[in-house]
Amino acid sequence: MQDFGEAFFTAFSLLFSFDADLMEVIGLSLRVSLTALLAAGLIGLSIGALLAVTRFPGRGVALVVVNSMMGLPPVVVGLIIYMLLSNAGPLGFLGLLYTPTAMIIAQAVLILPIIAALSRQVIEDLHNEYADQFRSFCVPTGRMMAELLWDARYSLLTVMLAGLGRAMAEVGAVIIVGGNINHLTRVMTTTIALETSKGDLALALGLGVVLLTIALTINAAVMGLNATAKRQAYA
């Protein structure tokens, strides 16, 4: 196994020299996670807003299901998607297994409940403040959802960043449906797992530094958005 000092030196050398393999893995990771975030965000925010402003029979059950799905085991999600996309599965004809698209689907399924549940709470709290005004002006449900989504945009951006952090950190599901194929479906987390098992710490550490940097950036962005939201609220 490489000496730790040498491994760190090699890791930073790879980063600052913009190593082609490293950049390829980072690029694919960002494309997969950002696409999954966009898809999950469009669906999750809509579900969250709908659950926040409407009352219907079975709403309590729906809330329990959405909240419970926040803790979905990634390997179980990966297994289910694998079964659906495999040649013997109902969606096997699409040929998506072991492709970045399959990884996007897996990440989107994992973060969708997080976005839906957290956005529902944010929008419901805001809706309770304006409920009387909405009723007075007979605002339609669709318009109400749109207004609340816009008014809560800073808090919802925080929710989206939380989803991005979850997507970027995923390992189990993306290995199952992506196969960790070099130059095709290998992302940062799966590369770290593979290179560590091989004893090649340099690339693993380099990607680890990138992941930590992304995590710190996301946390800083969340704090900044929260501060902006508070200033807007008291403006």
pLDDT tens column, 5-18: 666 666 667 677 77
Residue-level pLDDT at 221: 80
By the 10 Å C-beta count (0-12 exposed, 13-18 middle, 19+ buried), 162 is classed as: middle
Amino acid type, 118:
L
pTM equals 0.87
Residues 6+ apart with CB under 8 A from 54: 141
Residue-level pLDDT at 11: 67
Residue-level pLDDT at 1: 47
Please report how many Cα atoms fall inside a 13 Å half-sphere around the Cα of residue 205, on the Cβ side.
17
Buried b / exposed e over 106-143, threshold 16 CB at 10 Å, is bbbbbbbbbbbbbbbbbbbebbeeeeeebeeeebeeee
List, for the chain, all residue ranges whose pLDDT scores fall below the cut of 50. Answer: 1-2
Q: Could you please state the CATH topology (level 3) that the domain comprising 4-234 is classified under.
A: MetI-like fold (1.10.3720)
Q: Which two tokens stand for residue 134?
A: 């909405």
